[in-house]
Chain A
Amino acid sequence: MSKLLHLAAMTIGAIIFIAPASAQQAADFQAPTQPECVPGELLVKHRGGGSANAAGVNALQQIGGQTVQRFDFIGVELIRIPTDRSLTEAVSTLNTAGAVEYAECNYRQFAVKSPNDPQYPQQWGFPKINAPTAWDRQTDARNVVVAVIDTGVSLNHPDLISNLWRNPGEIPGNNIDDDGNGVVDDVFGANFVPATATGNPDDDNRHGTHVSGTIGAMTNNGTGVAGTNWTASIMAAKFLDASGSGTTANAIRAINYAIRMKADIMNNSWGGGGFSQALLDAIRAANQAGILFVAAAGNIGSDDDANPFYPCSYDSPNVICVMATDQNDNRASFSSFGKKSVHLAAPGVGILSTLPGGNYGQLSGTSMATPHVSGAAALLKAAHPTWTASDLKQQLLATVDKLPSLQGLSVTEGRLNLGRALPPLTACLPEPSQAAYEEVYFTANKQFSGNDNVLGVTFSLPRKMYVTIVANGSVQLAKAGGNNTFFTGLYSAPSPNVMYTGSLRRGTVSTQGSFVPLTTSFTQVLGPGNYSYYWKLWISGFTLQLDSANLTVHAVPCSMGGAILAIGASAADGPIPEPSTTTLSQELQVK
């Protein structure tokens, strides 16, 4: 039942993100929000990739089709049919005749969205993270609340004011705690610097305002700068004072406030101090509430694995730890890093954003990289309202641009690519279609000492769809031996039995009690039918204990060309083991 509800929710979500975000946005842009076909044109790939066989010729005759161009490299032909003939029917005729591998309409393509904010050209970070591609699909994140846990937010900045969160339970200026949350008149957020929290989180530093602009400066308004989200809901949770300093206790108050007020994402461009169990527990409470906790890796250029930088280094599933890169995709010289504890990088040098007093300016730091990721998560959440914090984290980590300069410096060794995390939707057929979504979870403490499946998932597709399979979990060393190197990857079975080399990753686990993340994914266009995919571990000479694992299938009806196929790909740097067709040894629990 819950599975059906989940599917229904995703279907609704798919309908929501296909629809225009608002009338204003629809009026602002030339590109239509629904895919548009060129009348009388089809793209057809014949079976075997060559010319049409007898059945193909027959089918083409039925629809009155004529080949006008052949794209040799991909074996696709541009077919012209009479313009008064239904494209949908023609596509259906070709596909059902079995004469072609696929047939689809020839979509009109549009330039990616570029906002009209005059200082946008100086914001190098957005093109770098491929934000314009994502903006083709989604710009509005008004329904996603991002808590900026920082020095406050400039409440009257003309480029932020409309994108500030409004507390629906509070009446401004009546000096009453209307919603009973312990803070009087907390309309835009709260200030936890005083012993008694106030409803005035105005920024008396500049840091929080700058962070907020990157997340959600009002965009395409002809003023100032752009934000990752063109419309947003930024909740100001101030706990750092005018000097940028605060306490663990007040950070906990700010986090608990954001939990209570139902934030979706928390941006944490701060850190320091030692380990705090109370702070970790607050972050874990946020995790329980489904809130993503995005944090800065620190600016001391050191290894966070060796010298933890809290809160970035806390072990909680909802934490994303962010390092900084420059315009050349190199690690920013000041940026801390960590192969195990830092997850990904984002632009953090010379970042232009909002400053108090209606001003704008450039700042550098992992503080500036972090809101790129928080903003990306918010946009992703807006497009996929049913996605959990775990889904958001997986998608952001699985779609990075892997960079040679980041090798060995983070879990993904990559920089945020928002456009890949949130590709534009172009339906395969110009008709409403449903999205499929499936998750399989495994939480028992299973031990592996040989080649074995971690998880498997079976699903069916009603039509040709764009399928992303994401595997995520962690293992620890249970019994040492051999070289402690393992491989993990995704493959389909029993037919076709294909190992997706792009998903194959090598891991090493050498320390007892130290968890090693398992994350891999791939994306592929699949036609209608039933599919089984397996996530497998190859181990020899030692034993791994699985801590947790989940395998997620996201299927959306879209046709993107070939670029997206690079999702999650990572070249194997060792011998590729042969896949086996062992059957599932676990009883699966389908969520």
Chain B
Amino acid sequence: MLNFSAFRAYVRGSSRLLLPRLPIVAAALFLATMASTAQTASELIIQVRPGVSEQDVKQLTQRAGAEYVHALGGPAYLVRAPDPQRAAAILESLRAQPDIISVEPNQTVRIPE
């Protein structure tokens, strides 16, 4: 499970440290917000630009410090942050890749109750 308390503690750090790291803070806030909806442990869904191969996805995932899990069909792939404490940084790193068009946590859905 993503360690959201760690992210929140990180966000509560001094503004001197905060300002240069705004992208990561934003990612942490994004993940913290998503914590209000159930999601699966450390998993992220990424979508890549047309023409990017599965092999390319594996490489860029590795560069970002994430683990490739499997293809979801179409442009979507499932990847995993091996260290939940680094999930926000990995998310931001994936977002920075020009071949990736979206990154989001893998959420839980279910039959309506």
Q: Which residues of A contact B (CB under 8 A)?
A: 150-151, 195-196, 205, 207, 240, 243-249, 251-253, 255-257, 259-260, 269-274, 276-278, 281-282, 285, 296, 298-300, 310, 365-367
Contact = CB atoms under 8 A, between A and B. Distances in A.
B37 A277 contact: no
Contact of B76 (A205, A257, A281): A281
A257 B73 contact: yes
A154 to B, nearest CB: 16
B70 A278 contact: no
B72 to A, nearest CB: 4
Contact of A274 (B37, B43, B46): B37
A207 B108 CA distance: 17
Contacts of B38: 272-273
Contact of A246 (B76, B102, B109): B109
B50 interface: no
A245 B109 CA distance: 6
Contacts of B76: 249, 252, 256, 278, 281-282
Nearest to A274: B37
Given A195-B69, A257-B73, A273-B38, A247 B108 contact: yes
A256 B36 CA distance: 27
Give the interface centre of A196, A252, A281 by most chain B CB atoms within 10 Å.
A252
A269 B110 CA distance: 9
Given A240-B111, A270-B111, 12 more contacts: A150-B111, A207-B111, A244-B111, A246-B109, A253-B72, A259-B73, A272-B109, A272-B112, A274-B36, A276-B45, A278-B72, A281-B74
Interface in B40-54: 40, 43, 45-47
Contact of B106 (A195, A249, A300): A249
Interface of A is mostly: mixed
Give the interface centre of B69, B74, B107, B111 by most chain A CB atoms within 10 Å.
B111
A274 B73 contact: no
Interface string B71-113: 0111110100000000000000000000000101011111111
B39 interface: yes
B74 A277 contact: no
B39 A273 contact: yes
B64 interface: no
Given A260-B73, A278-B72, A271 B45 contact: no
A272 B113 CA distance: 10
A270 B109 contact: yes
Nearest to B36: A274
Contacts of A260: 73
Interface string B21-41: 000000000000010111110
B111 A248 contact: no
19 contacts: A195-B69, A246-B108, A246-B109, A247-B40, A248-B45, A248-B107, A256-B73, A272-B108, A272-B109, A273-B38, A274-B36, A276-B45, A276-B107, A278-B45, A281-B75, A281-B76, A298-B112, A365-B112, A366-B112
